[in-house]
Structure 1
Amino acid sequence: MTSYAHLLPTTYKSTIASWLAEDAPSFDYGGYVVGESPKTATLYCKSPGVLAGVPFFIEVFTQLSCSVTFHYPEGASLDPGPTGKLAVATISGPARCILLGERVALNTLARCSGIATASASLVALARGAGYTGIIAGTRKTTPGFRIVEKYGMLVGGADQHRYDLSTMVMLKDNHVWSTGSITAAVAAAKRVAGFAVKVEVECQSEQEADEAIAAGADVVMLDNFSAEGLKVASANIKTRWAERGRSVLLECSGGLTPENVSEFVCADIDIISTSSIHQVCSPPQRKVAGLIETEHETCRFFA
């Protein structure tokens, strides 16, 4: 069965090793205390959300000689119901190894699940408002943690937009200012990007959008427009260039949130991009990983 885990590069394993090294850079005093006695721990969900980040969670414990069994598939919508907790996975291994990996594993799973939950929620809101285009997360991710956050977007049903600076050329106002004009900036980008890499231009007006399209931009971002201004501008641009036999992808971005996304929905916008799905996750959305229980004690963990 196809899984999002198949997308992950082999380097993610060394990234996880560095996270474990960061958390225990020298002596593991707590590990000395508990020793190697075999234990079984249970991962609980404590609030509704989308389960995401399973391969990262498993790899943390695999590197520590523990075994993990998940009881629900990644992408499942989990709800603990009236009991307040739902058993999601079982971890078995030496006590010191379970305790050594628990915080790294929980932090990663909770953050990834929170982003997946926020992504699924925003997509549902946009679809409910009649939007049929793409909902995408931005590159405003946490340094060193991008792979987890972009992965969460995908599991939650959102597009990950460009992964990094090498994935797509996005010419912002500072690129245009430094180059002298949108036309010059697009021409320079096209010279080196070739046919395989799209070029997008951030525009503040219809006039800038027209210049970008004329210069050969593949995507035009209408940035920080009001909801009504966006609808007028996007309709004008699409109509004007359709009459010239030219189509272009239009993206809107800037200030979009779950509270106002429905206001920006219109047929002429192909992509709605936002950082709200990975920069603003409310605490309930991030408590997907809730409890670790051993045979003798229960510890509560919150993201």
Structure 2
Amino acid sequence: MAPLEHGNTAHLLPNTYKQIIASWLTEDTPTFDYGGFVVGEDPKTATLYAKSPGVLAGVPFFDEVFTQLGCSVEWHAQEGTFLPAAKPIAIATVKGPSRNLLLGERVALNTLARCSGIATKSRRLLELVRKAGYSGILAGTRKTTPGFRLVEKYGMLVGGVDQHRYDLSSMIMLKDNHIWSKGSITKAVLAAKSVGGFVVKVEVEVQSEEEADEAIAAGADIVMLDNFTGDGLKASAANLKKRWAEKGRQDNVEGYLCNDIDIISTSSIHQSTQHVDFSLKIDH
């Protein structure tokens, strides 16, 4: 996918993300703020430090946490920038009442760390496949953390990878359970096309070239070659593209590094991903 204009990434977010952040703050302080009683509301300045290397991602979420708490944030690094962080780097200044700085600290840091970790892994994997000569699309999957999908998908975008599908409404993806429940690939695809119309793409997960042929013939827009070996996958992808191109049909297939394969979809971008380490310290 094309690089994002990092100054405009906040414009991607729905207004509902502010409600999500409000719920996070409520979760973190459901009753009494004992620490806030200790520090009071004297105006203070805090510095945000990046303490490990990574791509900075999640700026709008960090900003909104502190906006809701009546604090201001001034950034010294841009969203999408790689932070070398061989030693702690000051990347933002946060100003506000002591109590509110501490109320937002952990919520903001956790979000920034997770989002930046996903952006970092996304960019590294994208650089790896490009170096290996792959020119197709690299995408993340729907295997995201419940309640945190917006942050994780946003991190993928900042890191430069595609979405595959954001949720169940984004694309119709027919897996083995759908096909077994309906009776056949053809029946499942036709049912999906009847409700998705021309707007929603239909993707079918297949276990063989024969299943892929059936899916394409039934009208699937995308076939996913699932659980193929590396060499077997490359051969099958080449065979399918040649066979169906000759019939006037081009379809996306997903898998490993081979330019007969149009999309690689992986959950490694956002599962078991190491976070980028940040800390927020009140100046003294």
* Equivalent position amino acid for 2:45 in 1: T
Q: How many residues align?
A: 279
Aligned to 2:145: 142
The question of 1:221 aligning with 2:224 is answered yes
* Equivalent position amino acid for 1:201 in 2: V
Is the 8 Å Cα contact of residues 201 and 221 (structure 1) preserved in structure 2? Answer: yes
Q: Deviations over 1:27-52 (max 9, x none)?
A: 11111111001111111111111000
Q: From 18, 29, 33, give the equivalent of 2:23.
A: 18
Aligned to 2:234: 231
SS of 2:250's equivalent in the other structure is coil
Aligned to 1:300: none
The question of 1:46 aligning with 2:46 is answered no
Q: Deviations over 1:95-130 (max 9, x none)?
A: 000000000000000000000000000000000000
Supply the RMSD in Å over aligned alpha carbons. 0.9
The question of 1:208 aligning with 2:206 is answered no
Aligned to 1:28: 33
User: 1 CA distance for matches of 2:17 and 2:124?
Assistant: 27
The question of 1:66 aligning with 2:54 is answered no
Cα displacement (A) at 1:293: 1.5
Aligned residue runs from structure 1 range 1-303, under 5 A: 3-81=8-86, 84-252=87-255, 264-282=256-274, 286-289=275-278, 291-296=279-284
* Equivalent position amino acid for 2:264 in 1: I
User: 2 CA distance for matches of 1:239 and 1:115?
Assistant: 36
SS of 1:3's equivalent in the other structure is helix
* Equivalent position amino acid for 2:158 in 1: V
SS of 1:58's equivalent in the other structure is helix
User: 1 CA distance for matches of 2:90 and 2:77?
Assistant: 9
Is the 8 Å Cα contact of residues 202 and 221 (structure 1) preserved in structure 2? Answer: yes
4+ residue stretches of structure 1 with deviation over 6 A? none
Q: TM-score, normalised by structure 1?
A: 0.91
Q: Percent identity?
A: 70
Cα displacement (A) at 1:280: 2.1
Aligned to 1:256: none
* Equivalent position amino acid for 1:103 in 2: R
Q: Deviations over 1:211-242 (max 9, x none)?
A: 00000000000012111111011011111111
User: 2 CA distance for matches of 1:110 and 1:37?
Assistant: 28
Is the 8 Å Cα contact of residues 113 and 288 (structure 1) preserved in structure 2? Answer: no
Cα displacement (A) at 1:77: 0.6
Cα displacement (A) at 1:287: 2.7
Unpaired stretches in structure 1, ≥5 consecutive residues: 253-263, 297-303
Q: TM-score, normalised by structure 2?
A: 0.96
Cα displacement (A) at 1:294: 1.3
Unpaired stretches in structure 2, ≥5 consecutive residues: none
User: 2 CA distance for matches of 1:190 and 1:219?
Assistant: 13
* Equivalent position amino acid for 1:78 in 2: L
User: 1 CA distance for matches of 2:16 and 2:128?
Assistant: 35
